[in-house]
Structure 1
Protein backbone atom coordinates (compact mmCIF):
# COMPACT_ATOMS: atom_id res chain seq x y z
CA UNK A 1 0.00 0.00 0.00
CA UNK A 2 1.60 3.26 -1.20
CA UNK A 3 5.00 1.55 -1.32
CA UNK A 4 5.20 1.35 2.48
CA UNK A 5 7.00 -1.66 3.88
CA UNK A 6 7.08 -2.80 7.47
CA UNK A 7 10.50 -1.20 7.94
CA UNK A 8 9.25 2.19 6.76
CA UNK A 9 6.17 1.99 8.97
CA UNK A 10 8.38 1.15 11.95
CA UNK A 11 10.58 4.19 11.27
CA UNK A 12 7.49 6.41 10.96
CA UNK A 13 6.22 5.01 14.28
CA UNK A 14 9.50 5.71 16.06
CA UNK A 15 9.57 9.27 14.68
CA UNK A 16 5.96 9.75 15.82
CA UNK A 17 6.88 8.60 19.35
CA UNK A 18 9.69 11.15 19.54
CA UNK A 19 7.71 14.01 17.99
CA UNK A 20 4.45 13.50 19.86
CA UNK A 21 5.82 12.30 23.13
CA UNK A 22 4.39 9.65 25.41
CA UNK A 23 1.64 11.90 26.82
CA UNK A 24 -0.01 12.77 23.45
CA UNK A 25 0.65 9.48 21.61
CA UNK A 26 -2.34 7.53 23.05
CA UNK A 27 -4.72 10.32 22.07
CA UNK A 28 -3.47 10.44 18.46
CA UNK A 29 -3.39 6.63 18.24
CA UNK A 30 -7.06 6.50 19.28
CA UNK A 31 -7.92 9.19 16.72
CA UNK A 32 -6.15 7.17 14.02
CA UNK A 33 -8.08 4.06 15.07
CA UNK A 34 -11.37 6.01 14.86
CA UNK A 35 -10.44 7.30 11.41
CA UNK A 36 -9.65 3.80 10.13
CA UNK A 37 -12.87 2.46 11.66
CA UNK A 38 -14.94 5.27 10.06
CA UNK A 39 -13.33 4.68 6.65
CA UNK A 40 -14.04 0.95 6.89
CA UNK A 41 -17.67 1.64 7.87
CA UNK A 42 -18.08 4.07 4.95
CA UNK A 43 -16.67 1.52 2.50
CA UNK A 44 -18.93 -1.23 3.85
CA UNK A 45 -21.92 1.13 3.73
CA UNK A 46 -21.21 2.00 0.11
CA UNK A 47 -20.88 -1.69 -0.74
CA UNK A 48 -24.15 -2.51 1.05
CA UNK A 49 -25.95 0.34 -0.70
CA UNK A 50 -24.65 -0.80 -4.07
CA UNK A 51 -25.78 -4.35 -3.29
CA UNK A 52 -29.25 -3.05 -2.34
CA UNK A 53 -29.58 -0.95 -5.49
CA UNK A 54 -28.30 -3.62 -7.88
CA UNK A 55 -30.26 -6.42 -6.28
CA UNK A 56 -29.32 -10.01 -7.07
CA UNK A 57 -27.15 -8.92 -10.02
CA UNK A 58 -24.49 -7.63 -7.61
CA UNK A 59 -23.16 -11.12 -6.92
CA UNK A 60 -22.99 -11.94 -10.65
CA UNK A 61 -20.67 -9.04 -11.50
CA UNK A 62 -17.06 -9.96 -12.25
CA UNK A 63 -15.31 -7.11 -10.40
CA UNK A 64 -11.85 -8.12 -11.63
CA UNK A 65 -13.01 -7.55 -15.21
CA UNK A 66 -13.97 -3.96 -14.30
CA UNK A 67 -10.56 -3.17 -12.78
CA UNK A 68 -9.14 -0.12 -14.61
CA UNK A 69 -5.66 -1.66 -14.46
CA UNK A 70 -6.96 -4.34 -16.86
CA UNK A 71 -7.82 -1.67 -19.45
CA UNK A 72 -6.01 -2.26 -22.73
CA UNK A 73 -7.64 -0.44 -25.66
CA UNK A 74 -5.92 -2.64 -28.25
CA UNK A 75 -7.29 -5.81 -26.63
CA UNK A 76 -10.78 -4.36 -26.33
CA UNK A 77 -10.89 -3.33 -29.98
CA UNK A 78 -9.41 -6.64 -31.12
CA UNK A 79 -12.01 -8.59 -29.13
CA UNK A 80 -14.84 -6.40 -30.41
CA UNK A 81 -13.82 -6.73 -34.05
CA UNK A 82 -12.66 -10.32 -34.20
CA UNK A 83 -15.35 -12.03 -32.12
CA UNK A 84 -16.76 -14.90 -34.20
CA UNK A 85 -20.17 -14.85 -32.51
CA UNK A 86 -22.08 -12.26 -34.57
CA UNK A 87 -22.46 -11.63 -38.29
CA UNK A 88 -22.62 -7.87 -37.64
CA UNK A 89 -19.16 -7.92 -36.13
CA UNK A 90 -17.81 -9.82 -39.13
CA UNK A 91 -19.27 -7.10 -41.36
CA UNK A 92 -17.60 -4.46 -39.16
CA UNK A 93 -14.26 -6.19 -39.65
CA UNK A 94 -14.82 -6.17 -43.40
CA UNK A 95 -15.54 -2.43 -43.25
CA UNK A 96 -12.44 -1.70 -41.17
CA UNK A 97 -10.12 -3.66 -43.45
CA UNK A 98 -9.93 -1.70 -46.70
CA UNK A 99 -10.01 -3.67 -49.90
CA UNK A 100 -8.00 -2.37 -52.82
CA UNK A 101 -5.41 0.34 -52.93
CA UNK A 102 -5.54 3.65 -51.13
CA UNK A 103 -6.09 6.97 -52.88
CA UNK A 104 -2.45 7.89 -52.35
CA UNK A 105 -1.23 4.59 -53.83
CA UNK A 106 -3.61 5.00 -56.82
CA UNK A 107 -2.30 8.56 -57.41
CA UNK A 108 1.32 7.38 -57.23
CA UNK A 109 0.60 4.53 -59.67
CA UNK A 110 -1.08 6.89 -62.14
CA UNK A 111 1.81 9.35 -61.93
CA UNK A 112 4.33 6.54 -62.56
CA UNK A 113 2.34 5.41 -65.59
CA UNK A 114 2.49 8.96 -66.95
CA UNK A 115 -1.22 9.60 -66.59
CA UNK A 116 -2.71 12.62 -64.91
CA UNK A 117 -3.85 12.10 -61.34
CA UNK A 118 -7.61 12.40 -60.75
CA UNK A 119 -8.77 15.80 -59.49
CA UNK A 120 -11.88 16.41 -57.45
CA UNK A 121 -13.32 19.92 -57.90
CA UNK A 122 -15.59 19.57 -54.85
CA UNK A 123 -12.81 18.47 -52.46
CA UNK A 124 -11.27 21.92 -52.09
Structure 2
Protein backbone atom coordinates (compact mmCIF):
# COMPACT_ATOMS: atom_id res chain seq x y z
CA UNK A 1 0.00 0.00 0.00
CA UNK A 2 2.83 2.38 0.86
CA UNK A 3 5.94 1.19 -1.00
CA UNK A 4 8.14 3.99 0.32
CA UNK A 5 7.53 3.22 3.99
CA UNK A 6 10.29 1.07 5.41
CA UNK A 7 10.56 -0.83 8.70
CA UNK A 8 12.24 2.07 10.52
CA UNK A 9 9.42 4.43 9.56
CA UNK A 10 6.82 1.93 10.80
CA UNK A 11 8.61 1.56 14.13
CA UNK A 12 8.82 5.35 14.43
CA UNK A 13 5.08 5.69 13.72
CA UNK A 14 4.24 2.99 16.28
CA UNK A 15 6.32 4.70 18.97
CA UNK A 16 4.77 8.05 18.12
CA UNK A 17 1.25 6.58 18.30
CA UNK A 18 1.97 5.03 21.71
CA UNK A 19 3.31 8.36 22.99
CA UNK A 20 0.39 10.41 21.63
CA UNK A 21 -2.55 8.18 22.49
CA UNK A 22 -1.26 5.91 25.26
CA UNK A 23 -1.45 2.14 25.53
CA UNK A 24 -5.03 2.10 26.85
CA UNK A 25 -6.65 4.02 23.93
CA UNK A 26 -4.42 2.67 21.13
CA UNK A 27 -6.49 -0.50 20.34
CA UNK A 28 -9.67 1.55 20.12
CA UNK A 29 -8.04 4.07 17.77
CA UNK A 30 -6.65 1.25 15.56
CA UNK A 31 -10.15 -0.26 15.30
CA UNK A 32 -11.65 3.11 14.37
CA UNK A 33 -9.01 3.74 11.70
CA UNK A 34 -9.47 0.22 10.26
CA UNK A 35 -13.25 0.69 10.15
CA UNK A 36 -12.82 4.06 8.43
CA UNK A 37 -10.51 2.51 5.82
CA UNK A 38 -13.05 -0.29 5.18
CA UNK A 39 -15.81 2.28 4.63
CA UNK A 40 -13.65 4.33 2.25
CA UNK A 41 -12.74 1.18 0.31
CA UNK A 42 -16.42 0.15 0.10
CA UNK A 43 -17.43 3.60 -1.16
CA UNK A 44 -14.63 3.48 -3.74
CA UNK A 45 -15.64 0.01 -4.95
CA UNK A 46 -19.30 1.01 -5.23
CA UNK A 47 -18.34 4.12 -7.20
CA UNK A 48 -16.24 2.02 -9.58
CA UNK A 49 -19.08 -0.46 -10.10
CA UNK A 50 -21.53 2.37 -10.71
CA UNK A 51 -19.23 3.91 -13.33
CA UNK A 52 -18.80 0.52 -15.04
CA UNK A 53 -22.55 -0.06 -15.12
CA UNK A 54 -23.14 3.42 -16.56
CA UNK A 55 -20.53 2.90 -19.30
CA UNK A 56 -22.39 -0.10 -20.67
CA UNK A 57 -21.56 -3.69 -21.60
CA UNK A 58 -18.78 -2.80 -24.04
CA UNK A 59 -16.69 -1.51 -21.10
CA UNK A 60 -17.31 -4.44 -18.74
CA UNK A 61 -13.58 -5.28 -18.63
CA UNK A 62 -12.59 -1.64 -18.03
CA UNK A 63 -10.00 -1.17 -15.29
CA UNK A 64 -9.32 2.22 -13.71
CA UNK A 65 -5.62 1.36 -13.43
CA UNK A 66 -5.51 1.46 -17.25
CA UNK A 67 -6.03 5.22 -17.10
CA UNK A 68 -2.47 5.64 -15.85
CA UNK A 69 -0.30 6.54 -18.85
CA UNK A 70 2.45 3.97 -18.24
CA UNK A 71 -0.04 1.16 -17.71
CA UNK A 72 -1.97 2.16 -20.82
CA UNK A 73 1.13 2.13 -23.02
CA UNK A 74 2.37 -1.14 -21.53
CA UNK A 75 -0.98 -2.88 -22.00
CA UNK A 76 -2.01 -1.60 -25.41
CA UNK A 77 1.26 -1.03 -27.20
CA UNK A 78 3.99 -3.21 -25.77
CA UNK A 79 2.13 -6.34 -24.60
CA UNK A 80 -0.27 -6.51 -27.51
CA UNK A 81 2.58 -6.04 -29.99
CA UNK A 82 0.28 -4.53 -32.59
CA UNK A 83 3.17 -2.53 -33.98
CA UNK A 84 5.35 -5.56 -34.75
CA UNK A 85 8.00 -4.71 -32.18
CA UNK A 86 8.91 -8.38 -31.67
CA UNK A 87 9.69 -8.74 -35.37
CA UNK A 88 11.87 -5.62 -35.27
CA UNK A 89 13.69 -6.83 -32.16
CA UNK A 90 14.39 -10.22 -33.72
CA UNK A 91 15.61 -8.57 -36.94
CA UNK A 92 18.01 -6.37 -34.98
CA UNK A 93 19.37 -9.28 -32.91
CA UNK A 94 22.63 -10.56 -34.49
CA UNK A 95 22.76 -13.77 -32.43
CA UNK A 96 21.01 -15.94 -35.04
CA UNK A 97 23.31 -14.82 -37.85
CA UNK A 98 26.40 -15.23 -35.67
CA UNK A 99 25.31 -18.76 -34.77
CA UNK A 100 24.93 -19.61 -38.47
CA UNK A 101 28.41 -18.23 -39.24
CA UNK A 102 29.92 -20.15 -36.31
CA UNK A 103 28.28 -23.38 -37.51
CA UNK A 104 29.59 -22.84 -41.03
CA UNK A 105 33.12 -22.26 -39.72
CA UNK A 106 32.93 -25.40 -37.58
CA UNK A 107 31.74 -27.46 -40.56
CA UNK A 108 34.56 -26.08 -42.74
CA UNK A 109 37.11 -26.88 -40.04
CA UNK A 110 35.78 -30.43 -39.73
CA UNK A 111 35.92 -30.89 -43.50
CA UNK A 112 39.54 -29.68 -43.71
CA UNK A 113 40.48 -32.06 -40.91
CA UNK A 114 38.95 -34.91 -42.87
CA UNK A 115 40.39 -33.80 -46.23
CA UNK A 116 44.06 -33.76 -45.16
CA UNK A 117 44.55 -37.20 -46.63
CA UNK A 118 43.30 -36.09 -50.06
CA UNK A 119 46.17 -35.76 -52.61
CA UNK A 120 46.77 -32.30 -53.97
CA UNK A 121 45.43 -30.71 -50.80
CA UNK A 122 47.83 -28.31 -49.10
CA UNK A 123 48.25 -28.83 -45.39
CA UNK A 124 49.01 -25.82 -43.23
CA UNK A 125 50.57 -27.92 -40.49
CA UNK A 126 54.34 -27.78 -40.01
CA UNK A 127 56.30 -30.88 -40.91
CA UNK A 128 58.83 -31.86 -38.26
CA UNK A 129 61.15 -33.61 -40.78
CA UNK A 130 61.45 -30.75 -43.23
CA UNK A 131 64.88 -29.14 -43.49
CA UNK A 132 65.66 -25.46 -43.57
CA UNK A 133 63.67 -23.55 -46.14
CA UNK A 134 65.25 -23.50 -49.57
CA UNK A 135 66.17 -20.00 -50.70
CA UNK A 136 65.97 -18.99 -54.29
CA UNK A 137 69.34 -18.53 -55.96
CA UNK A 138 70.41 -14.92 -56.00
CA UNK A 139 71.15 -13.61 -59.47
CA UNK A 140 73.17 -10.36 -59.28
CA UNK A 141 72.78 -9.71 -63.03
CA UNK A 142 68.97 -9.70 -62.80
CA UNK A 143 68.90 -6.49 -60.81
TM band (smaller chain): 0.3 to 0.5
After TM superposition, the score normalised by the length of structure 2 is: 0.41
In our comparison, the structure showing a higher alpha carbon Rg is 2
